[in-house]
Amino acid sequence: MIGAFGLSNRFEAQEHIRCSHVSGKSDSSFVFTASSERGELRFETGGTFVSSSSPRWPDSLVINRTTALELALFDADTLVERSHRFFAVDIPTHFPILAVSTAGYYFWDSVNGISVRGPNAYFDTTSGFWRNNNYEKKWEREVNIVYIEDDGEEVINQRGGIRVFGGMSRHLPQKSYRIIAREEYGKKRFKHQFFEHRENEKFKTLVLRNGSTHYNKSKILDVFATQLAKELGLEIQEAQPVTLYINEEYQGIYNLREHIRGHYLEANWGGDRDSMDLIQGHSRAENGDSKGYFEMFDWIKKTDLSDDSFLPELFKWMDVRNYFNFMVVQIYLNNVDSMGNIRFWRKDDSTPFRWILYDTDLGLGHSRAVSFNYMQYRLSRVQTDWFNPQWSTAIITNLLENDSLKKDFIHQVSYITSTTFEVERFESVLDSLVDLYAHDVEIHRNRIGQLNKWEYHINKIREYGQKRPPYMLEYTRQQFDLDKPYRLEIVNEHPEWGHFRINDNPGRSDSTYAGWYFSELPLKVEWVPNRLFKATEESILFVSAEPGDTLRLQPHFEPSPMSPYAGKVKLNEWHPARDSVAPWIELISLIPDTIPGLNWTFWTASGEFDFEYASMGKSTFYLEDSLSTLWSDSSHVRGWWRMLDEEGLVIDSISWYDLKPTGVYERVDSIGHELEWIEGPGTPALLNPSQQPPRERASIWLVSLLILGQFMLVWHSYFKKEKVNL
């Protein structure tokens, strides 16, 4: 071990170059060695790539500061192999480190650097910005990219490309960047699961976002807004804070984000780049084409949507609930940048368009006060400011000509304000991010400044969340000429028994809920029992109350009745395929009549398995060896099963503990629900010894004695187990 961060001190065998350490973190200096059995090693530090004219490697190097080191093996001036290392020394970051290395010439050179204005820039007095900058060009530079996880493990070390990323944020002192994997650099993908809440492990591009206009304020405004809203099912960019280095120079906190392109939609949302359309703004296609969008846009503009007969066609064009949720979020945030800085997509021309939530940096009080009535701008048919041209409001205003859609939109304002943006939840999500970032914010401000008022800006966001909900309700009331809202309260004493749905939104298992709704619009509330339970009263209600009143509701659930087969068919014995014998499970029928064709379900802690069987006759047994995948999982040290009939009612249930590598699990009696482990092959297609009448049990003992040679074990079982007549 070198240093408290556990930098690995081991030789890593590559094709020709042997190095003493892989990339990582260290809190103290150490000696790095490298060697090769052929050719000549040369090296560079500072991020520069090695060439045949680089210095010769001196066998070892003391690493006493953060170092980007590249070694290259040459054989008669022919490059044989490269090896890149990045060592972060004395930087106690809690975040992963992303280190970008290349010649400083490519970043900061006054003529060729991608992050500078360059020699041909000029100041545009009309816009107030410098134009024709280097950082506005689509220049891409080759870099080496190292990603070191927060536990110190190097997971990415490869060549790639880098570009300046963003719109107006390009003009900020701290730039955002996009990193790209290309085959010509060596690898077509970055292969790592960068984001905790994504399963995707292959990325073509990633974004290193500076925080946009909050780069020197909170750093987290857009991350927070999208994390807050993602429970609505909106497509968002996941985020992972990282510490960025460029050529050994600390750049501070960046937010690693997914890049919204075809690869992103393909990996996360089931898209196919060959058939999907991804549109930015009003027309620009980033994947596929914009023909379908314009067809939808023109159809909406010319169609009288007040006529409900057109709604089926509308729903083919667009996911209206997704669009309403997107609009409510933007209005809540006061994100005036949502005029044309938007993206939406569809899988193919047979599926509806959906909207993607991203780039909310002008929201949450950053560009407009918490009291700003953005709703009246978003829902205006005429342009009243730069951020609501008619084309940007045409879809929403036409949709709201329909009474049922208008009702749904108003309900979604109330619902989202009281759930997604409920003050306690708002603060909880914010606090979780504050806890995540606080440690590295201190490092950032001490090394490069910028975040000296971080706490102040966090509190401004918090204040916005505390004050915004009443404005949302009041502006909705004004916009649609409604009465004062009433308060809806729901108390669910047994959320484990069932949940509730409001306005067809996903079910909620909250024990208490409160929101404000408008009397003129009856609200759909639904009681949804969990499995094995049922509602004891009307399950779908349409409710309302007088303006200003409080309406209190309480769902009532109770356990469902048992199946008619309960007590008649039992899960009797189980061999879990932990040895060389094929897995099986035994069912036993305790009724004289033949049970007709079965279509039942095994419900387990890890999933469900539907099975069918032609019939189950008197005293017959059912053996099934196709359940091995579901029930041979070695993690099932403890578990349970329930057997359900066609109606989902419980026939039988069992549980077990301490899964063994051999033997079987059998039911001791027909009353209890626990399986006990026994050695040996078990008794498939026979009653278990403890379940036999006395005479039958004696014969079973004898057979077991003769076949298995386990006389003492069975004799002991005879005296210990109770007699149970089936």
Q: CB neighbours of 354 closer than 8 A, spacing ≥ 6?
A: 235, 318, 319, 322, 323, 344, 345, 346
Second-level CATH architecture of 484-560: Sandwich (2.60)
DSSP symbol at 157: E
Residue 475: how many CB atoms within 10 A of its CB?
19
**CA-only gyration radius of the chain, Å:** 33
Q: Per-residue pLDDT tens for 459-490?
A: 999 999 999 999 999 999 999 999 999 999 99
**Alpha-carbon gap, residue 33 to 179, rounded angstroms:** 30
Judge contact between 172 and 215, C-beta under 8 A.
Answer: yes
Which helix (H) or strand (E) segment holds residue 15: the answer is none
Regions of the chain short of the pLDDT cut 50:
1-14, 619-620, 625-635, 695-726
Q: How much is the pLDDT for 670?
A: 66
Q: How much is the pLDDT for 533?
A: 95
| Pairing of β 141-148 and β 154-165 | antiparallel
| Pairing of β 486-491 and β 550-553 | parallel
Whether the domain at 484-560 and the domain at 569-686 fall into the same CATH topology: yes
DSSP symbol at 298: H
Structural domain boundaries of the chain? 12-219+240-257, 261-435, 484-560, 569-686
Judge contact between 487 and 449, C-beta under 8 A.
Answer: no
As a CATH number, domain 569-686 is: 2.60.40
Q: How much is the pLDDT for 15?
A: 67
Q: How much is the pLDDT for 614?
A: 62
Taking Cα atoms as reference points, which of 466, 440, 267 lies closest to residue 365?
A: 466
The predicted model scores a pTM of: 0.87
Taking Cα atoms as reference points, which of 398, 289, 395 lies closest to residue 340?
A: 395
Q: How much is the pLDDT for 616?
A: 63
Q: Per-residue pLDDT tens for 422-464?
A: 999 999 999 999 999 999 999 999 999 899 999 999 999 999 9
Strand ranges (DSSP E) for 317-375? 343-346, 354-356
Strand order in the sheet with 540-543: 498-502, 523-529, 540-543
**Alpha-carbon gap, residue 467 to 465, rounded angstroms:** 6
Q: How much is the pLDDT for 432?
A: 98
